[in-house]
């Protein structure tokens, strides 16, 4: 193990939290949850846990070994995949880095698996194929249990779901049915054996994705593995590795082997590196080889910009910001140069064949998404969306799982049309949007301009929200930016869950509000999405331990604390005759509280 890079990653439980594992009933699985211990007479609260073994004090973490390959057995039991030698790593995979400049390979070489020829009749070993065959997989049960966050009974709910049909409790069969209908996906490459499966769909909790990845300009493997662990600690449900430049094959290996969440990539980025950054030099052969390379490593979903078609490119001519998707611009350049449809579009069938042999999910990229308020909801954007709908049908016919990427930059009054058109054109395949940013005028604060749009579109039905960090448009996010982006998007997703009427979502709000009203400061911190920051802010002005018991904070001080006064009011009312009784009297129209006019 010596000489291997050993990134310092953050492990250990979150404050007042312990790991709880709920066993499956259909399958031999244990589903991780986070249990937050509370003070007073409050029961502990169980919440969704994306953080993986890193927050389990009993877990033995060694990133040079990777996480336990839990799903290996599941796949073996299905018996429809076969291990094989796999593609040999070539110099181009790591951008021709050698010697000191080469990030070391992950120490444990793993033999990849793929579908046995003609598996399940079509060669598909996807969750969609199983779902259609009526099979409830361990992945489905795992994801189902997670969704209930430890609840075993229905919870009070209200909300406006805009057609979402969220059950009181999610069953494995419900997950299966949603996947079979194309309304949900479980991104779960069979070669990502370390994965803790999760489900993305409109009738489940709204998920968030965090982008990490080095760029040619800055950052290293150590930083990227750390960012992944850091992102999931704060709640990222999936992570996209958008690395470019050198060493991306090896960095990706390190990330996947240590990731309990689905990893997404844009294979085009690596393909472009292999041709020295010259878009026109891209070929189907190089792209195809890259798909296989990454599928063998265990990437769970690929962004494929197959919706960018030649005739759409002139539609961007009068745009204020042109084409702002990296993948979209690369393919547009290729199309225009060669004056033909892209190999992504022309070879879409063959791409499906690769994807279904490993169960890599499609994330159909929105290469023509708007990059400014001015360009929102324009002809190019919606033309591509319609094409994505057509491609969805082709992928589904091949038993491939599909989600659809969405914008971008959209003012509030144009957001709902995005969701409505996506549902219509893409047949209810899950929507996965980047924000959208609701104004262009706040560089440095685009996590917030976009959280507004993200919360709204999540409410309207978007299944997963791709985070935006404060560094958007300015530079590569660092560790702090990643955390800020994740927490911001967790709160946006949660606001969406509340508004959709997701059963149980309000439990955490209520627990925190009760803690607030009871001056249980530690509980307020611990129930928050970021206990460390909340505690630090409180301690800035009231650092002493005794202050954690104070019935006020420095915001209003003791005399002006409305919550303290509210308690006085209740005590006074009880003394007088019982506040509930007073309320009854009022409701009955009793004489006591007849309004004086």
Known binding residues for Zn(2+) are 409, 473
**Distance (Å, rounded) from C-alpha 336 to C-alpha 322?**
14
Helical packing angle, 267-274 and 284-297, nearest 10°: 130
Q: Binding to its own copies by residue 51, rule CB under 8 A? A: no
Site string for its own copies, 472-511 (x = CB under 8 A): xxxxx-x--------xx-xxx-xxx-xxxx----x-xxx-
Binding string, residues 77-96; x marks residues near its own copies by CB under 8 A: --------------------
Distance CA 20, CA 35 (A): 6
- Residue 218 touches its own copies, criterion: CB under 8 A: yes
- The one segment of 36-44, 79-87, 177-185, 551-559 that binds its own copies by CB under 8 A: 551-559
3-state secondary structure 162-202: CCCCCCCCCCHHHHHHHHHCCCEECCCCCCCCCCCCCCEEC
Coil, helix or strand at residue 340: coil
Contact map string, positions 398 to 417, toward its own copies, x by CB under 8 A: -------------xxx----
CB 342 within 8 A of CB 283: no
Interaction between residue 101 and its own copies (CB under 8 A): no
How many residues line the site for its own copies (CB under 8 A)? Answer: 136
Return the number of the residue (357 or 515) whose C-beta is nearest its own copies. 515
**Interaction between residue 567 and its own copies (CB under 8 A):** yes
Nearest approach in angstroms of CB 484 to its own copies is 9
- Least distance between its own copies and beta carbon 226 (Å): 17
530 binds its own copies (CB under 8 A): yes
Answer whether 371's CB lies under 8 Å from 365's CB: no
Residue number, 197 or 504, with CB nearest to its own copies: 504
314 binds its own copies (CB under 8 A): yes
Q: Which of 326, 356, 398, 520 binds its own copies (CB under 8 A)?
A: 326
Minimum CB–partner distance for residue 513 and its own copies (Å): 4
Minimum separation from the CB atom of position 250 to its own copies (A): 18
Q: Out of 32, 66, 371, 389, which residue is the one contacting its own copies (CB under 8 A)?
A: 371
Place of tokens 């709920």: 22
Candidates 440, 479, 522, 548: give the one binding its own copies (CB under 8 A). Answer: 440
Residue range at the interface with its own copies (CB under 8 A); choices 13-21, 104-112, 201-209, 529-537: 529-537
The interface region with its own copies, picked from 97-105, 271-279, 296-304, 350-358 by CB under 8 A, is 271-279
Beta bridge partners of 32: 21
Cβ-contact 450, 424 below 8 angstroms: no
Residues 444, 490: Cα–Cα separation, whole Å: 19
Cα 336 to Cα 268, 269, 371, distances in angstroms? 17, 19, 20
**In whole angstroms, how close is the CB of 3 to its own copies at the nearest point?**
29
Structure tokens at 416: 């709902």
Residue numbers in the known binding site are 211, 240, 269, 305, 325-327, 366-369, 405, 409, 432, 473, 553, 556, 561
Instruction: Assess 160 for contact with its own copies (CB under 8 A).
Output: yes
User: SS3 of 287, please?
Assistant: helix
Residue with structure tokens 């299944």? 463
Q: For residue 270, give the nearest of 199, 337, 211, 213 by alpha carbon.
A: 213
Handedness of CA 8, 14, 18, 20 (dihedral sign): negative
How far apart, in whole angstroms, are the C-alpha atoms of residue 348 and residue 342?
10
544 touches its own copies (CB under 8 A): no
* Residue 569 found at the interface with its own copies (CB under 8 A): yes
Q: Which is nearer to its own copies, 89 or 585 (CB)?
A: 585
Of 124, 262, 143, 141, which Cα lies nearest the Cα of 201? 143
For position 50 contacting its own copies by CB under 8 A, the verdict is no
């Amino acid at each position: 193990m010596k000489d291997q890079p050993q990134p310092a990653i953050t492990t250990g439980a979150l404050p007042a939290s312990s790991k709880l594992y709920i066993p499956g009933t259909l399958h031999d699985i244990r589903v991780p949850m986070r249990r937050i211990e509370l003070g007073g007479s409050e029961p502990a609260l169980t919440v969704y846990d994306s953080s993986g073994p890193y927050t389990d004090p009993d877990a033995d973490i060694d990133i040079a070994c990777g996480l336990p390959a839990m799903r290996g057995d599941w796949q073996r039991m299905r018996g429809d995949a076969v291990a094989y030698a796999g593609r040999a790593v070539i110099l181009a995979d790591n951008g021709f880095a050698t010697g000191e400049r080469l990030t070391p390979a992950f120490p444990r070489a793993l033999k990849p698996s793929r579908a046995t020829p003609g598996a399940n009749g079509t060669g598909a070993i996807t969750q969609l194929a199983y779902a259609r065959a009526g099979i409830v997989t361990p992945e489905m049960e795992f994801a189902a249990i997670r969704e209930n966050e430890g609840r075993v009974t229905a919870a009070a709910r209200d909300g406006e779901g805009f057609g979402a049909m969220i059950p009181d409790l999610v069953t494995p069969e419900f997950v299966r049915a949603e996947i079979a209908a194309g309304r949900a996906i479980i991104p779960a490459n069979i070669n990502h054996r370390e994965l803790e499966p999760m489900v993305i769909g409109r009738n489940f909790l709204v998920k968030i994705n965090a982008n990490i990845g080095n760029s040619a300009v800055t950052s290293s493997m150590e930083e990227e593995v750390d960012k992944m662990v850091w992102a999931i600690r704060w709640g990222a449900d999936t992570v996209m590795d958008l690395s470019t430049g050198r060493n991306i094959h090896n960095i990706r290996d390190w990330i996947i082997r240590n990731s309990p969440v689905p990893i997404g990539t844009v294979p085009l980025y690596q393909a472009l590196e292999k041709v020295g950054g010259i878009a026109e030099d891209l070929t189907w052969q190089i792209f195809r080889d890259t798909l296989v390379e990454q599928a063998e490593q265990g990437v769970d979903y690929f962004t494929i910009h197959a919706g960018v078609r030649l005739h759409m490119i002139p539609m961007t001519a009068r745009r204020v910001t042109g084409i702002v998707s990296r993948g979209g611009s690369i393919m547009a350049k290729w199309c225009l140069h060669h004056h033909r449809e892209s190999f992504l579009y022309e070879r879409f069938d063959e791409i499906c064949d690769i994807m279904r042999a490993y169960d890599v999910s499609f994330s159909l990229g929105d290469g023509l998404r708007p990059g400014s308020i001015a360009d929102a909801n324009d002809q190019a954007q919606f033309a591509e969306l319609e094409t994505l709908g057509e491609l969805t049908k082709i992928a589904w016919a091949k038993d491939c799982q599909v989600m659809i990427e969405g914008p971008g930059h959209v003012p509030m009054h144009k957001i709902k049309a995005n969701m409505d058109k996506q549902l219509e054109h893409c047949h209810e395949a899950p929507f996965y949007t980047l924000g959208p940013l609701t104004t262009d005028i706040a560089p440095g604060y685009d996590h917030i301009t976009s959280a507004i749009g993200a919360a709204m579109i999540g409410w309207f039905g978007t299944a997963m929200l791709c985070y935006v960090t404060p560094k958007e448009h300015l530079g590569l996010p660092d560790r702090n930016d990643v955390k800020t982006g994740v927490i911001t998007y967790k709160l946006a997703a949660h606001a969406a869950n509340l508004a959709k009427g997701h059963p149980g979502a309000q439990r955490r709000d209520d627990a925190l509000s009760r803690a607030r009203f009871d001056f249980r400061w530690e509980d307020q911190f611990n129930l928050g999405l970021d206990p460390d920051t909340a505690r630090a802010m409180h301690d800035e002005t009231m650092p002493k331990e005794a202050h954690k018991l104070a019935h006020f904070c420095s915001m209003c001080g003791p005399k002006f604390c409305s919550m303290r006064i509210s308690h006085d009011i209740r005590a006074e009312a009880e003394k007088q005759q019982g506040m509930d009784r007073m309320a009854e009297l009022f409701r009955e129209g009793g004489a006591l509280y007849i309004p004086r006019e």
